[in-house]
Amino acid sequence: MTMLAVFRSRAQTLEYISALKTSGVPAQAVNTPKEAGVGCGISARFEETFFPRARSCLAKRQYSSFSGFMKNTGGRFGYL
């Protein structure tokens, strides 16, 4: 299942994607869905199987603009 890491900063989103890839997590930049309610426009997308690694990667850095993780459920994204 697809998950998103939502940020309010484009720069921090791209930095996080780079950190994910360094940690072996296949990730990409995607448009942030309207359900997120933030204005940055891009989020980090990865598969749910990598969630523990993605969460660990987030904890190792100071991302002041992190808004939360979202999961695709029933064709729509919702915050965890």
41 falls within a domain:
yes
42 falls within a domain:
yes
User: In the predicted model, what is the mean pLDDT of residues 41-69?
Assistant: 95
CB 63 within 8 A of CB 33: no
80 falls within a domain:
no
pLDDT tier, 55 (very low <50, low <70, confident <90, very high otherwise): very high
78 falls within a domain:
no
pLDDT tier, 25 (very low <50, low <70, confident <90, very high otherwise): very high
Which one-letter amino acid corresponds to residue 31?
A: N
| Domain CATH code at residue 19 | 3.30.70.1530
77 falls within a domain:
no
In which domain, by residue range, is 52 found?
A: 2-70
**Domains of the chain: total:** 1
Q: Read out DSSP for the chain?
A: -EEEEEES-HHHHHHHHHHHHHTT---EEEEPPGGG--SS-EEEEEEGGGHHHHHHHHHTS--TTEEEEEEEETTEEEE-
Q: How many CB atoms lie within 10 A of CB 59?
A: 9
